[in-house]
């Protein structure tokens, strides 16, 4: 090839394709596998080790594994490898825990809708994104209603007298009036102070058994006395397995990000009171192991609550897991905030943007983008940490697995269970990390200065 | 309000005076960075500020839009006094555009989005109108074809011109420049200076910290020399360069002109 030796007049040299040996798989193999003598030796050794290990693993888990049988002994008769029949028999417990069989369509539906709700949040080329985002916002309510069913809010029942429902109504009327007033006069404080209680009343009513049980009951639509419901309430003690893991993981992940952002902005703020409060919260939560917080949630909290209050254990755990993750999230995001040059704030100030406008349009998009690896790291950590709930007696996928192992008929099959649990977590976490790479690529906007 | 302030205020005719600074002082902790600054800028005047590094030039013009807070004296911009009142600060920032040494474009937004952000959110201009205005000014600074690129994909000179267009999109009555060309490679300086000269021709009130003496000669109505936090000398460009009065000015000029 004499391309390089061909001569052009100065200033007229065309752009040429790169030489063949600089691109393609051959070049890759040369660079990465056989770059030097040491490299070549290591490659050969690695290939030999793979040759030893991989077939044995495939043999144990697939080719020599038993997929049928009703006990460990039967499995062993069929094949020497893994006994997947065990997992197969237990799969419904692994998935739902002890959730009532005839109600399982509800978590199934909630699970499918979860993806409908996530799609517009995760990807921006989804059709009808705007409308779907509204659905995403309402999804948490729907999910609670589907999975847990109506929540008992006794003071909303007219059977308890008029004063209870009336109080709720008055609160709602007053709060929404305040909100309307705030939006008319552009008073953000009045809007916030109004929307929070008004929203709370709406949510409580939407989830309450007054709406789903006592009203349909009184107009003859259902008959609670004969166990006929629109949505039967399901005790959260029955939740388990993948269902419980996903509930805790998804709740923690979706709530810890916004709370973490608020905490990070608070810690970064100029107002000493807010800053101190956020620092205290973050440092306290970070300074205590999650297990301790879970124990507090499961036992100690009942000392502090007024006697007789029944505060759902799962709810307490969700709060603790969320707070824990939020504190970490706040620090990750603060790192992102600190990586921004001061000029970004100054340019925004000089253009007259308000604090929240600056944060929303300029600072957070950039800070969150640099924090993506850390944020996803925290997500994955949180997701795997949900297994700690088994210590306080909740049966997540690992907890269900541990109880399954102690079944005498299937004695000694812990490998299969742990491999199953590991594969479940690996698939979820690997998915998250792939998504974060996609997001980083998408948000990449050319070289930094 | 004190007597002095009252009197000064009555003197200010907002139709003719863009900026009025009276006996202004500023400290960074113990460090007295600006000492007794007095400056009146009539509307439409173009002022070049120069002086050695650390003399307080940046600090002074940053006080005008409250990127820095002054501790004594008063600053009246466009008839509005700068106080801790956020309303005043916002009102002034809407009227004052600023161009920085390091451009400070928003890297996650396209050039067009950079230009429309503030009009849309601060001035509540409809998006379409804001985009038309932005294209108008991108045309003025001669880079309309870059509108959909990200700042990271442009050269330094192009970025600085975008920054100028971005400020102009807010329709400011006053423009502040803090060494707009000193982070640029020599061949890009002239394209930015040309843009600024074009801007000067429109009658914009401009305060410009720069060491580009050619630019000062060409467009400035007045050159101000600062040293040690004080305004040492001010004069018309011709007089200022050919016949400086103060020894420090002479030293400074000899240094930058022989450079
Ligand atoms: N945030 C700050 N805190 C303390 N001192 C500061 C701060 N900002 C600037 N200074 C000091 O104030 C003085 C004036 O700074 P300023 O940036 O206004 O100078 P300048 O004239 O713009 O210089 P240059 O030509 O290098 O930009 C300098 O001595 C600087 O060290
Ligand atoms: Mg400076």
A39-52 per-position pLDDT tens digit = 889 999 999 999 99
Q: Among A336, A341, A352, which would you mutate to test the B interface (most chain B Cβ atoms within 10 Å of its Cβ)?
A: A352
Q: Is the pLDDT of residue A16 over 90?
A: no
Instruction: Among A227-236, A262-271, B144-153, B161-170, name the one with the lowest average pLDDT.
Output: A227-236
Q: Taking CB atoms and an 8 Å limit, are B94 and A353 in contact across chains?
A: no
Q: What residues contact residue A156 under an 8 Å CB cut-off, 6+ apart?
A: A164, A165, A168, A204, A205, A208, A210
Cα atoms found within 13 Å of the Cα of residue A428, Cβ hemisphere only: 19
- Nearest to residue A421, comparing CAs of A437, A444, A397? A397
Q: Taking CB atoms and an 8 Å limit, are A443 and B94 in contact across chains?
A: no
**Given this model, what pLDDT does residue B8 score?**
46
| CA–CA separation, A179 and A189 (whole Å) | 9
Q: Among B121, B134, B172, which would you mutate to test the A interface (most chain A Cβ atoms within 10 Å of its Cβ)?
A: B121
A361 touches chain B (CB under 8 A): yes
Cα atoms found within 13 Å of the Cα of residue A212, Cβ hemisphere only: 21
ipTM value, please give it. 0.91
Q: What is the mean pLDDT of chain B?
A: 91
CB of A153 within 8 A of CB of A312?
no
| CA–CA separation, B190 and B138 (whole Å) | 17
Q: Is the pLDDT of residue A2 over 80?
A: no
Each domain of chain A, given as residue ranges in start order, spans 19-63, 65-99+235-449, 149-233
**Given this model, what pLDDT does residue A446 score?**
64
- Nearest to residue A86, comparing CAs of A412, A330, A428, A333? A412
**Given this model, what pLDDT does residue B36 score?**
94
Q: Is the pLDDT of residue A186 over 90?
A: no
A48-A49-A50 Cα angle (round to 5): 90
Nearest chain B residue to A347 by CA: give it. B104
Interface of B with A (CB under 8 A): 65-67, 90, 93-94, 96-98, 100, 102-108, 117-118, 121-122, 149-153, 166-167, 170
Nearest chain A residue to B93 by CA: give it. A352
B205-209 vs B222-227, strand pairing mode: unpaired
- Classified as helix, coil or strand, A288 is coil
Q: Which of B93, B98, B150 sits opposite A445 (nearest CB)?
A: B150
**Given this model, what pLDDT does residue A213 score?**
82
Nearest CA to ligand 1 atom 4: B28
Greater confidence (A154 vs A432) lies with: A432
DSSP A84: H
Please report, rounded to a whole number, the percentage of residues in chain A having pLDDT higher than 70: 96
A346 touches chain B (CB under 8 A): yes
A120-A125-A127 Cα angle (round to 5): 70
Instruction: Please provide the DSSP assignment of chain B as one string.
Output: --HHHHHHHHH--TTTEEEEEEEEEEEETTEEEEEEEEEEEETT-EEEEE-STTSSHHHHHHHHTTSS---EEEEEETTEE--S-HHHHHHHHHHEEEE-TT----TTS-HHHHHHHHHHHTS---HHHHHHHHHHHHHHTT-GGGTTS-GGGS-HHHHHHHHHHHHHTT--SEEEEESTTTTS-HHHHHHHHHHHHHHHHTT-EEEEE---HHHHHHH-SEEEEEETTEEEEEE-HHHHHHS--SHHHHHHHHHHH--
Task: Beginning with the edge strand found earlier in the chain, give each strand of the sheet holding B205-209 in spatial order.
Answer: B96-99, B174-178, B205-209, B46-50, B222-227, B230-235
**Given this model, what pLDDT does residue B114 score?**
96
CB of B50 within 8 A of CB of B209?
yes
Q: Taking CB atoms and an 8 Å limit, are B107 and A448 in contact across chains?
A: yes
A209-A212-A214 Cα angle (round to 5): 65
CB of A366 within 8 A of CB of A299?
no
What mean pLDDT is predicted for residues A54-72? 86
| CA–CA separation, B100 and A238 (whole Å) | 62
| Alpha carbon of A436: minimum distance to chain B alpha carbons (Å) | 17
Instruction: Give the position of tokens 């005719």.
Output: B13
Q: How far is the CA of B56 from the centre of ligand 1 (A)?
A: 6
| CA–CA separation, B180 and B200 (whole Å) | 15
Ligand 1, pocket residues at CB < 6 Å: B 28, 31, 33, 51, 53-59
- Nearest to residue A82, comparing CAs of A43, A56, A46? A56
- Per-residue pLDDT tens for A135-166? 999 999 999 989 998 888 777 777 666 777 88
| Alpha carbon of A1: minimum distance to chain B alpha carbons (Å) | 35
Supply φ then ψ for residue B72, to 5 degrees: -145, 155
Q: How far is the CA of B165 from the centre of ligand 1 (A)?
A: 27
Instruction: Please provide the DSSP assignment of B46-103 as one string.
Output: EEEEE-STTSSHHHHHHHHTTSS---EEEEEETTEE--S-HHHHHHHHHHEEEE-TT-
Q: What is the mean pLDDT of chain A?
A: 87
Q: Residue B155, class by beta-carbon neighbours within 10 Å (0-12 exposed, 13-18 middle, 19+ buried)?
A: middle
- Per-residue pLDDT tens for A68-96? 888 888 888 888 888 888 888 888 889 99
Q: Which of A350, A353, A445 sits opposite B107 (nearest CB)?
A: A445
Set of chain B residues whose Cβ sits within 8 Å of the Cβ of A362 = 106, 117
Long-range CB contact pairs, B250-259, < 8 A, 24+ = B252/B50, B252/B51, B252/B52, B252/B225, B252/B227, B256/B50, B256/B211, B256/B213, B257/B213
Cα atoms found within 13 Å of the Cα of residue B37, Cβ hemisphere only: 36
pTM of the model: 0.85
B230-B160-B108 Cα angle (round to 5): 115
**Given this model, what pLDDT does residue B7 score?**
45
Q: Is the dihedral of CA A282, A288, A293, A294 positive or negative?
A: positive
Count of CB atoms situated within 10 Å of the CB of A4: 7
Q: Which of B100, B107, B122 sits opposite A352 (nearest CB)?
A: B122
Using CA atoms, how far residue A438 sits from A431, A444, B78, B114, B150, in Å, is: 11, 10, 49, 25, 19
Across-strand partners of B42? B17
What mean pLDDT is predicted for residues A403-414? 83
For ligand 1, what atom is nearest to the CA of residue B52? 25
What mean pLDDT is predicted for residues A360-369? 94
Nearest CA to ligand 1 atom 3: B28
| Alpha carbon of B150: minimum distance to chain A alpha carbons (Å) | 6
For ligand 1, what atom is nearest to the CA of residue B55? 21
| Alpha carbon of B9: minimum distance to chain A alpha carbons (Å) | 24
| CA–CA separation, A232 and A212 (whole Å) | 9
**Given this model, what pLDDT does residue B61 score?**
95
Q: Residue A319, class by beta-carbon neighbours within 10 Å (0-12 exposed, 13-18 middle, 19+ buried)?
A: middle
Q: Among B103, B107, B177, which would you mutate to test the A interface (most chain A Cβ atoms within 10 Å of its Cβ)?
A: B107
Cα atoms found within 13 Å of the Cα of residue A271, Cβ hemisphere only: 8
* CATH architecture observed for domain A65-99+235-449: Orthogonal Bundle (1.10)
Set of chain B residues whose Cβ sits within 8 Å of the Cβ of A352 = 90, 93-94, 118, 122, 170
- Nearest to residue A251, comparing CAs of A185, A306, A317? A317
- Nearest to residue B19, comparing CAs of B44, B36, B1, B2? B44
The two structure tokens encoding residue A185? 């006069």
| pLDDT lower than 50: segments of chain B | 1-10
CB of B22 within 8 A of CB of B73?
yes
Q: Is the pLDDT of residue A267 over 80?
A: yes
| CA–CA separation, A285 and A326 (whole Å) | 9
| CA–CA separation, B243 and A74 (whole Å) | 107
Mutate to test the pocket of ligand 1, among B33, B48, B183 (most ligand atoms within 8 A of CB): B33
Long-range CB contact pairs, B199-202, < 8 A, 24+ = B199/B164, B199/B168, B199/B175, B200/B46
Q: Which of A346, A350, A446 sits opposite B152 (nearest CB)?
A: A446
CB of A363 within 8 A of CB of A391?
no
- Nearest to residue A264, comparing CAs of A353, A188, A375? A375
What mean pLDDT is predicted for residues A263-270? 93
The two structure tokens encoding residue B64? 């005008």
The two structure tokens encoding residue A389? 């709930």
CB of B121 within 8 A of CB of A357?
yes
Taking each helix axis as running N to C, give the angle between helix B127-140 and helix B156-168, from 0 to 180 degrees, rounded to the nearest 10.
130
**Given this model, what pLDDT does residue A219 score?**
78
Q: What residues contact residue A69 under an 8 Å CB cut-off, 6+ apart?
A: A75, A77, A78, A83, A85
Nearest chain B residue to A353 by CA: give it. B122
Q: How far is the CA of A212 from the centre of ligand 1 (A)?
A: 67
Q: Taking CB atoms and an 8 Å limit, are B90 and A344 in contact across chains?
A: no
Using CA atoms, how far residue A160 sits from A155, A212, A214, in Å, is: 7, 16, 12
For ligand 1, what atom is nearest to the CA of residue B226? 21
């Amino acid at each position: 090839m004499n391309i390089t030796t061909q001569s052009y007049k100065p200033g007229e040299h065309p752009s040429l394709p790169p030489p063949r040996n600089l691109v393609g798989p051959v070049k890759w193999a040369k660079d990465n596998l056989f770059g030097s003598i040491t490299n070549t030796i290591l490659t050969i050794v690695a290939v030999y080790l793979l040759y030893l290990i991989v077939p044995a693993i495939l043999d144990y888990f697939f080719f020599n594994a038993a997929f049928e049988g009703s006990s460990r002994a039967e499995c062993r008769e069929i094949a020497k490898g893994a006994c997947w029949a065990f997992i197969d028999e237990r799969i419904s417990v692994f998935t739902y825990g002890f959730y009532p069989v005839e109600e399982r369509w509800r978590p199934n539906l909630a699970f499918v809708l979860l993806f409908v709700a996530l799609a517009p949040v995760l990807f921006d080329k989804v059709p009808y994104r705007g409308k779907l985002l509204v659905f995403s916002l309402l999804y948490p309510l729907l999910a609670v209603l589907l999975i847990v069913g109506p929540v008992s809010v006794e003071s909303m029942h007219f059977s308890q007298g008029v004063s209870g429902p009336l109080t709720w109504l008055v609160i709602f009327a007053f709060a929404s009036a305040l909100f309307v007033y705030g939006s008319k006069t552009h008073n953000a404080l009045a809007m916030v102070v109004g929307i929070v209680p008004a929203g709370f009343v709406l949510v409580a009513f939407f989830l309450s058994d007054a709406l789903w049980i006592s009203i349909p009951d009184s107009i003859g639509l259902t008959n609670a006395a004969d166990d006929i419901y629109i949505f039967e309430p399901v005790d959260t003690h029955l939740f388990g397995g993948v269902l419980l893991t996903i509930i805790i993981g998804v709740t923690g992940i979706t709530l810890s990000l916004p709370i973490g952002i608020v905490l990070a902005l608070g810690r970064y703020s100029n107002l000493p009171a807010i800053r101190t409060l956020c620092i205290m919260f973050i440092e306290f939560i970070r300074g205590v192991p999650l297990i301790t917080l879970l124990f507090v949630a499961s036992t100690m909290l009942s000392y502090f609550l007024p006697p007789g209050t029944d505060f759902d254990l799962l709810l307490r755990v969700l709060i603790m897991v969320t707070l824990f993750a939020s504190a970490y999230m706040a620090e990750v995001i603060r790192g992102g905030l600190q990586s921004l040059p001061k000029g970004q704030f100054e340019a925004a100030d000089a253009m007259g943007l308000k604090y929240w406008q600056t944060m929303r349009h300029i600072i957070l998009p950039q800070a969150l983008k640099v924090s993506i690896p850390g944020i996803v790291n925290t997500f994955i950590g949180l997701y795997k940490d949900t297994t700690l709930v088994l210590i306080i007696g909740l049966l997540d996928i690992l907890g269900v697995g541990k109880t399954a192992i102690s079944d005498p008929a299937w004695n000694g099959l812990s490998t299969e269970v742990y491999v199953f649990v590991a594969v479940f977590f690996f698939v979820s976490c690997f998915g998250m990390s792939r998504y974060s790479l996609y997001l980083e690529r998408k948000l990449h906007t050319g070289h930094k200065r | 309000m004190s007597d002095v302030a009252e009197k000064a205020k009555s003197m200010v005719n907002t139709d003719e005076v863009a900026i009025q600074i009276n006996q202004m002082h500023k400290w960074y902790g113990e460090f007295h960075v600006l000492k007794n600054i007095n400056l009146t800028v009539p509307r439409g005047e173009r002022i070049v500020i120069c002086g050695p590094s650390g003399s307080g030039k940046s600090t002074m013009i940053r006080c005008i839009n409250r990127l820095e807070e002054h501790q004594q004296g008063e600053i009246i911009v466009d008839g509005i006094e700068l106080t801790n009142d956020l309303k005043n600060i916002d009102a002034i920032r809407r009227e004052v555009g600023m161009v920085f040494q390091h451009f400070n474009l928003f890297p996650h937004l396209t050039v067009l989005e950079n230009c429309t952000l503030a009009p849309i959110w601060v001035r509540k201009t409809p998006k379409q109108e804001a985009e038309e205005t932005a294209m108008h000014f991108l045309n003025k600074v001669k880079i309309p074809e870059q509108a959909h690129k990200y700042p990271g994909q442009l050269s330094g000179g192009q970025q600085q011109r975008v920054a100028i267009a971005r400020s102009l999109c807010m329709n400011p009555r006053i423009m502040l420049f803090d060494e707009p060309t000193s982070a640029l490679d020599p061949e890009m300086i002239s394209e930015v200076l040309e843009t600024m000269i074009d801007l000067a021709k429109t009658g914009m009130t401009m305060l410009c910290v720069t060491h580009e003496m050619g630019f000062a000669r060409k467009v400035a109505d007045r050159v101000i020399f600062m040293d040690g936090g004080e305004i040492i000398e001010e004069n018309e460009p011709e007089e200022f360069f050919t016949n400086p009065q103060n020894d420090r000015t002479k030293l400074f000029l000899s240094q930058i002109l022989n450079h």
